[in-house]
Amino acid sequence: MRFLHTADWHIGRRLHGFDLTEEQDYAFQQIETIAQSEHVDGIIIAGDLYDRSAPAEAAVQQLNRMLQQLNLTDKFPIYAISGNHDSNIRLATGTPWFPRTNFYLYTQLEQAFTPIELTDTQIFLLPYFEPFAAQQYFQDESLQHLDQSVAAVIAEMKTHFTPGKTHILVAHFFVNGSAQTDSETQLTVGGLASVPLSLLSDFDYVALGHLHGKDALQAPQARYSGSPVKFSLSEAHQKKGVYLVDTDTQTITFKPLSPLHDVQQLTASFAELTQPEFYQQYQLTDYFGITLTDTKPIPNVLTQLRTIYPRIISLNRAEGFVEQFSYQGEKRQQLQQQDPLDLLSDFYEHIAQEPLTDQQKKWAAAALKIANQEEK
Amino acid sequence: MRFLHTADWHIGRRLHGFDLTEEQDYAFQQIETIAQSEHVDGIIIAGDLYDRSAPAEAAVQQLNRMLQQLNLTDKFPIYAISGNHDSNIRLATGTPWFPRTNFYLYTQLEQAFTPIELTDTQIFLLPYFEPFAAQQYFQDESLQHLDQSVAAVIAEMKTHFTPGKTHILVAHFFVNGSAQTDSETQLTVGGLASVPLSLLSDFDYVALGHLHGKDALQAPQARYSGSPVKFSLSEAHQKKGVYLVDTDTQTITFKPLSPLHDVQQLTASFAELTQPEFYQQYQLTDYFGITLTDTKPIPNVLTQLRTIYPRIISLNRAEGFVEQFSYQGEKRQQLQQQDPLDLLSDFYEHIAQEPLTDQQKKWAAAALKIANQEEK
């Protein structure tokens, strides 16, 4: 059988304030086209369908439309689970009616132990869950951590294995040794919140969600499909797409998706960035994270750059700015007692890598005087 | 055919801070029992399934459970619409899958023109809509008010009438001459936001939602079922229930529901309210709105009364308190210039109907002095 494996749609997500609705729709249309042209037997969505527990109406409308299109119009079976970003309660709305058209969206741990039985395949849908849910289900308070909980879950699943069938697991968790980016939420604070790959070895394929890069896990039979769209600058270098999994030929093929607007990182000086020879090599409607190599102040730098790059999602300096707000603790107390003009001089020097000129000092002193008068 | 007509469930609603989950479940179980014992051919829910556009997870879980029970477990057809309290977008989740088990939940105006065809009956489900939606649908900007919009909608519906069949309309709006209570939200601010009864005369039965009293509209073939639970003190006198509509015998029968805890209004003095002979005649776990006939101050009156009546939802005085915050405009300006002690004396006299005693004046003066010192 052939399955399309995708995950982490995060419908409703914004990219530094920019609406991603069109990007998501554009990626969705490509996923639909791949599913059609590859004649897949089902579409796997491994969690985080929504970006938020209580998605906005527009996001609800968008996801509803997508799922309806794939299942009711295109007649694809769907095998989906809730992720850590979804409200498993809200996402459960309507789910008891869905299996009549081969749409399985599981949101509760206890559903994971009833595989979906296809001719030659068993699909186990394991929604995102917390160890507490496993404690409840197994009546076992020793299940304190995710690795213990998943071990118990998988042991129980195996008792439902039909020998000779292909066994697929759909899950949403962090597998040990995977590579994270900035844009995935930590599943738990502290604790053993990751799952050893060895636990998953009895499945013929493990379709994972949670990490947004397709290469986050290097394993022969377990993959993160990654998200269909780039959700942060840390994903700028990732190639987005879906996996095609053929259980007969035992092949896994990556199918890339093109972005409507890409996310890119540029590191250059203001002079370079504003030269046509430089910027004409880029698709200027893309989302840009810009790192300036300049050290001197540039008035209205963001406004100026936006006339060329309308979708700037971050702007910082190669030197200094990252440490800008790192003053802490005792140092802060000392700072509060310093003369404002000294503080300004230090700050300027820290950022611009050169001292204030005498003229600049005079301006600053005059401005401080006015500010002090206004306070009184 | 026999239908059970209910509406205005408002799942997620609170009564002056009290959770109504159990009251709602208790009413629901009775509705289910009536549907079963009367062998109804379907259950009509005429809007406001939820109380809020973005209901809490607990409310989502409760409504999902109820609808699943009625449709998937009990196998009742359901004919439902969104009301003004529902988000028609969120409530639409899953709806394209529901008709396979005869569950029709319509949320968009355009769905109203495809009646559900039963052997001898056509059911038209008209979700709550704003005139703007009618303008869009009919491409007619002259539809500025609800009466005009509903007239256009019903004219269009009639073109779909099959002669000889029974015609049922399910709708959620305010019909001219109906009796409102405090707890229904005004559908629009200003404007002709009500529908003349005459517009509805071609239907054999109009199952209405929006008003919470079963007697809000006195008409032979159009009824508000009212809500299954009392949602405010202004509904204290209402008998809650559902209508059984038999289209063969052309009878409409009211089936009452008992409250788990009733809502009651008590008007009495503090002395009466705290006498066992008085309060023992009541179910003290009910929700009480209490109007005190006393004029003198009673220290910790709410705390004292709650030891007897734990679910007090409002407490006021028969005299004076309603005008308490009615100072306006110029009077307010005068007040700002008055001496605080004079203000206090006036206020006390206004509420307690007698002047401050000399001892009370001394206490007040001392307290004011301390307050003034702390301000400096």
Interchain contact, A93 vs B92, CB within 8 Å: no
Residue B103 has pLDDT above 80, yes or no: yes
CB proximity under 8 Å: B 91-110 to A:
92-98, 100-101, 103
At A366 the pLDDT is 84
Q: How many CB atoms lie within 10 A of CB A339?
A: 9
Residue B340: predicted pLDDT: 78
Collect all residues of chain B within an 8 Å Cβ-Cβ radius of residue A103.
97
Helix, strand, coil: what percent of chain A each, to 5? 35, 20, 45
Query: Across the interface, do B61 and A96 touch by the CB < 8 Å criterion?
Result: no
Average pLDDT over residues B302-320: 90
Enumerate the residues of chain B whose CB falls inside 8 A of the CB of residue A72. Answer: 96-97
Question: At A28, which helix (H) or strand (E)?
Answer: helix A21-37
B90 and chain A in contact, CB less than 8 A: yes
Q: Where does the pLDDT of residue A337 fall: very low under 50, low under 70, confident under 90, or very high at 90 and above?
A: low
Contact A97 B93 (CB under 8 A): no
Chain A residues with CB under 8 Å of B97 CB are: 72, 94, 97-98, 100-101, 103
Number of helices (H) and strands (E), helices first, in chain A? 10, 16
**Ordered DSSP codes for A233-289:** GGGTTPPPEEEEEETTTTEEEEEE---SS-EEEEEE-HHHHT-HHHHTTS-TTSEEE
Q: In this structure, are residues A140 and A133 in contact, taking their beta carbons and an 8 Å threshold?
A: no
Least confident of A283-292, A331-340, B220-229: A331-340
Q: Which of A93, A98, A101 to mutate to test the interface with B (most CBs of B within 10 A)?
A: A93
Chain B touched by A52 (CB under 8 Å): no
CA B194 – CA B217 distance, rounded (Å): 13
CA distance A39 to chain B (A): 23
Q: What is the pLDDT of residues B111-149, one digit of tens each?
A: 999 999 999 999 999 999 999 999 999 999 999 999 999
Dist CA A46 CA A10 (whole Å): 11
Residue span(s) of chain A under CATH 3.60.21.10 come to 2-256
Give the CB-side neighbour count of residue B215, counting CA atoms within 13 A.
6
Mutate to test the interface with A, among B73, B90, B91, B95 (most CBs of A within 10 A): B90
Q: What is the DSSP string of B194-209?
A: -B-GGGGTTSSEEEEE
At residue B73, the pLDDT reads 98
For chain A, what is the mean pLDDT?
A: 90
Cβ density class B254-287: b for 16+ within 10 Å, e for less: ebebebbbbbbebebebeebeeeeebeeeeeebb
Question: Could you read off the pLDDT of A272-281 as tens digits, one per residue?
Answer: 999 999 999 9
The answer regarding whether domain A2-256 maps to CATH 3.90.650.10 reads: no
Residue B179 is predicted with a pLDDT of 73
Dmax over CA atoms of chain A, in Å, equals: 84
Which of A54, A60, A97 is opposite residue B101, by nearest beta carbon?
A: A97
User: Mean of the pLDDT values across residues B76-97?
Assistant: 98
Is residue B286 within 8 A of residue B261, CB to CB? The reply is yes
pLDDT at B368: 82
**How high is the pLDDT of residue B193?**
80
Report the interhelical angle of B131-138 vs B146-158 (nearest 10°).
40
